[in-house]
Structure 1
């Protein structure tokens, strides 16, 4: 039986993206007023029940989740600066109000009273979990502490929120660039050079290299001139220097919060809600991994140094005794080309963005038994920019008469532009949940925001293999948000423990290193031919080339993050020199010299300013779970639909409605372990 998806999709409601700056602030104030009114009612409730407390509380959070996400999302994607500014202001207002409401002891007491009454009863587990998490959130705001302390905590949390928002705003609005002559850019692919805008400096025509990925990364990977790479690297890592004092203040505020909340360190406060639970677990994990990776990276750097000096000699230049920070990407590319005969520019020809994305969607359709339907001509106001693609997603229903169930909207915003978020991320804009009738499902909305090269009249956007992996990863987050089916928005999709949230996406990255799957994704932009076996085999052999160097860099971010959040004494905080710590740790851990050219790289470390504080370790920590899942369920047969559906239903569908460790044990049939991870990394 064929399904008319066009007719089916026409029946689905979709959000509109036509708000003005005034609309954004009006919506924000309405959301604030609604929350305040509800909390006033809860505070006045003498005999709380599931019907008069949990039901209206959940209903408000369910229904307001999307409008709140929408008005705060514009700051990352809108071309209108006034709208971006209004979006940032809306986030500040909403956060400040939320902190105030969640700091009300009279509301906390009502929640605690209801939880005490039902915690030993047989109410549904997700409702009990919701109540428990809510009570915990109040306690973590200091509601069990004296009034004077509570007021200090509230003020600090407002300050922290505003600082984090400003840090992100500065990053989004960043417009830095470096100017070079065409000669200085020798080695950078011609199509990249052709995309650089022209500028004049001292009467000489130069090319403008911005700090957006499609501009700066090809330079660092391909520019033959070491001074060009050095200049670009230093400028890039000093971008957004106005964020440096903001991060310094953020760390001080977090320290004060940890102390007021009576935790040993701020890290202890954060990790209480993570899978790792304790800072000692994280620090031991990072230390052990560093011990294992350092000798591997040492050998890799020796090989890169030899390659560097052979290259310098071939060009009539003097040898050098170190591989510098601006050398690693360039000589990594050269190593792939010389030793492994891998040409990433040539490989990219097999991955034109449009067809590669379509093939990726086909993979996800097979593995998870779902269907994507692209809206070829989005309705007026259906997307926030003309580049954005809109898809409806359906799930196959097997019981009874075979049919398709609409399960959500997903958007792809894939090219850079001024004022747009500069990295790659998934934004879970609108969570799914069960409507008040307990039967009808409110469907989710999610968006992938990336920065891939824009197509030109001569050539489509071509994805490097690492960009294919990046998109597969972010699509994994998007699918997590679409497939999840929880009762409450609070637990929907990626709203799991922070040190597990990357696991589903990291697990799916394995598909981009599997021979049959790579070939299936490929299609030469001129001929349509799939990538040949020889090229794929060579590419796969490079999966763990310089893995020590790469993972030590990740360890550096994680260790820096942990060190600034595990400060115990005020004296140590007062003596903290972020600039010195960042640069000394970077050289010490990564083993790569900056030749005495320190930078303020922490001023663009967006993760640490909001969301991943004392949590960056999670990128490495969750790799352990990702490897365990892939090796157990998919390594022998990556496209096994039965395994895909089992994984979908146990991990993705449940979102955060259960502890992730319990889902993992059910999926694997045992407790997770690090054997697959260590085998994958070290062989």
Structure 2
């Protein structure tokens, strides 16, 4: 084992140490801030004696800060999660108080006025710091307005944590008889808990991402699909009020600062710059997608009509939200001979992840070396290897440059792939420690974690991935991880994915294209019956005499998968994203404050979805539009994607342009992969993102590839 020049972080905190360490971090940073104010005056203020100490203090604080707050999303201990939430609360309060320090702001303002000759990243740091003070309330006169702004900020921080805590806790279940789950695969049913007492004879069906998807995709009884869909849409009732209060407070805060809306406040610092730009983009995309959505819906309706009538029933002309997955599956299996569940047998989580890392090694000049067993003990400063991970599920890798890139150390990668109690649901990449340049010009290396909610393997089957999970959850999210690992910024603030939101998704979205290349799919695939003798025997038990499938996915299945791409990721898919993007703008850009105070966000959520997608909901059954509060699970809008969800569509424009202009001819072109690494990923957010794109493409980006992929050119 190669010994990295920097030890991995430790995860041996106690509830008490999380809180005490957080207080020490805050106190250390505050001392630096106080020292700057006490020793520097406006006349002597420079970037070197004001901004540099502040940035270095931020660099050092972030080595620990993110990890202390990370436990709340991944720890199996409720005590650690609670302590981590308290740490986040303390840090939020500290950040808010720093943003209101007029003495610091005056020094930063003095540096801005001196207009020193600075490198690009330092100039950006100065400008962002100066603007942040204004946006944190120092543009307001001292007194009641400023105090109200501070109160709002602190309350919003509390609401965001409560919202996420509710989503992290048990999302509930439905008790169903096995007969009601006719069509749901037997291996899914076999894992469900059995009821007793009033639930005797029933199965506990969890309302998590995986199980809800299985029910909507396979359950033959439309009433059961409806029940699962509506119950799932109402599983966080306490978040309805939390979401509403947050939107009202954000609007009030933005108007206090003199902005017309929270969207105007947030977008000022993004690539789009104004709500008008975003709204125009979303409206244009919506008008282009409208006809395609109608065509896809009509195709789905005809399949439903045929299926319903084959069962001796009368088709009433309705196509419901809980019908979409079920009947899309019928088309995929029938017309395209593409059964997503069957195809998943070639994509076990373990084997696919291993090959994915190999692809990134070849493309970007990296080497991933897993650290296991005694090797962990050697690296742990405590001597206990388990202190290097937060749960036994976690894999730890040291990441190095390959020989061509110099062989140096890059950072640490963690894979935490399985769902468990207390862990946040969903799929994300989390920067645990940023990279930056220390005072002595040496590097602090990054650590990044892929956190997922995949099903656990069983004795009979490994964890198997649908193609969209390989694409959107592995390649996409680990794309963020690669961005984190290879970035080389001077300041932690701009490290890796710390770009503007409407660019930040582009590098990961671009990597999704590799999952639509036949050669890549072949290399990623390995039928699970070849993984071990035990899995082969388990496969044989249920194969009913069929011959063992080929080890790699057959060409005809790849062709079927690619042929059905428009159905899985076509107009309706993008209209669904458009619904989230437009709703996000709607709640963050009301015409006046009274409008957001009086808005029924549940009704607006469901009406907007119906308007865009044309799929029926319970409202057509005279149940009104308050049947399900989807916004109560809209974590993006509550967190860093507030007035920013459009960014997933906006950055897709850049992703498509980069792929089709540079990689389409040869996705595994090592020279282009490394050029992309150095010109795009290494820059992080340390320079203007349009400059990054223009340098890589050799021109300004355009939308042709985006619309061509959607068939809308």
TM value normalised by structure 1? 0.96
2:340 and 2:589 mapped to 1: Cα distance?
A: 41
Query: Deviation per CA, 1:175-234, whole angstroms, max 9, x where unpaired?
Result: 311111111111111111122222236353211121222222111111111111111111
Instruction: Please give the residue correspondences for 1:366-377 in structure 2 after superposition, counting only pairs within 5 Å.
Output: 366-377=362-373
Instruction: Please give the residue correspondences for 1:403-422 in structure 2 after superposition, counting only pairs within 5 Å.
Output: 403-422=406-425
| Aligned equivalent of 2:584, options 561, 571, 574 | 561
Instruction: Please give the residue correspondences for 1:193-208 in structure 2 after superposition, counting only pairs within 5 Å.
Output: 193-200=189-196, 202=198, 204-208=200-204
TM value normalised by structure 2? 0.92
1:614 aligns with 2:647: no
2:216 and 2:147 mapped to 1: Cα distance?
A: 49
Does the 8 Å CA contact 1:212/1:416 hold for their aligned counterparts? Answer: no
- The equivalent residue for 1:147 is 142
| Aligned equivalent of 1:301, options 297, 300, 308 | 297
Count how many residue pairs are aligned between Structure 1 and Structure 2.
Answer: 671
Q: CA, structure 1 residues 201+473, in 2 after alignment: closer, same or farther (shift >3 Å)? A: farther
Does the 8 Å CA contact 2:175/2:199 hold for their aligned counterparts? Answer: no
| Aligned equivalent of 2:606, options 583, 595, 613 | 583
Does the 8 Å CA contact 1:92/1:162 hold for their aligned counterparts? Answer: yes
Query: Deviation per CA, 1:35-81, whole angstroms, max 9, x where unpaired?
Result: 22222223332122333222321211111112110111001000000
Instruction: Please give the residue correspondences for 1:509-548 in structure 2 after superposition, counting only pairs within 5 Å.
Output: 509-527=512-530, 529-545=551-567, 547-548=570-571
Query: Deviation per CA, 1:300-343, whole angstroms, max 9, x where unpaired?
Result: 11111111121112223331311101111111111111110001
1:37 aligns with 2:66: no
- The equivalent residue for 1:437 is 440
- The equivalent residue for 2:182 is 186
Instruction: Please give the residue correspondences for 1:314-353 in structure 2 after superposition, counting only pairs within 5 Å.
Output: 314-353=310-349
2:362 and 2:707 mapped to 1: Cα distance?
A: 29
Does the 8 Å CA contact 2:140/2:146 hold for their aligned counterparts? Answer: yes
| Aligned equivalent of 2:125, options 123, 127, 130 | 130
Query: Deviation per CA, 1:491-518, whole angstroms, max 9, x where unpaired?
Result: 1000000111110000000000111111
Query: Deviation per CA, 1:366-415, whole angstroms, max 9, x where unpaired?
Result: 1101110111324221111111111111113548xxx4111100111111
1:54 and 1:468 mapped to 2: Cα distance?
A: 43
1:319 and 1:26 mapped to 2: Cα distance?
A: 64
1:381 and 1:295 mapped to 2: Cα distance?
A: 55
Instruction: Please give the residue correspondences for 1:89-488 in structure 2 after superposition, counting only pairs within 5 Å.
Output: 89-117=86-114, 119=115, 121-148=116-143, 149-200=145-196, 202=198, 204-377=200-373, 378=376, 379-396=385-402, 398=404, 403-438=406-441, 440-469=442-471, 470-488=473-491
Query: Deviation per CA, 1:337-356, whole angstroms, max 9, x where unpaired?
Result: 11100011111110111111
- The equivalent residue for 1:3 is none
| Aligned equivalent of 1:624, options 621, 635, 653 | 653
Does the 8 Å CA contact 2:360/2:366 hold for their aligned counterparts? Answer: yes
Does the 8 Å CA contact 2:99/2:137 hold for their aligned counterparts? Answer: no
Q: CA deviation at 1:490?
A: 0.8
Does the 8 Å CA contact 2:194/2:200 hold for their aligned counterparts? Answer: no
Query: Deviation per CA, 1:272-326, whole angstroms, max 9, x where unpaired?
Result: 0100001001001100111011110111111111111211122233313111011
Q: CA deviation at 1:12?
A: 4.3
Instruction: Please give the residue correspondences for 1:635-654 in structure 2 after superposition, counting only pairs within 5 Å.
Output: 635-654=664-683
2:667 and 2:706 mapped to 1: Cα distance?
A: 17
Does the 8 Å CA contact 1:196/1:215 hold for their aligned counterparts? Answer: no
2:314 and 2:13 mapped to 1: Cα distance?
A: 59
2:311 and 2:507 mapped to 1: Cα distance?
A: 46
- Which has the larger displacement, 208-217 or 262-271? 208-217
Q: CA deviation at 1:165?
A: 1.3
Q: CA deviation at 1:473?
A: 0.4
SS of residue matched to 1:14: coil
Q: Which ranges of structure 1 fall in alignment gaps of 5 or more residues? A: 1-5
Q: CA, structure 1 residues 147+12, in 2 after alignment: closer, same or farther (shift >3 Å)? A: closer
Does the 8 Å CA contact 1:286/1:559 hold for their aligned counterparts? Answer: yes
Does the 8 Å CA contact 2:68/2:84 hold for their aligned counterparts? Answer: yes
1:342 and 1:278 mapped to 2: Cα distance?
A: 43
1:22 aligns with 2:21: no
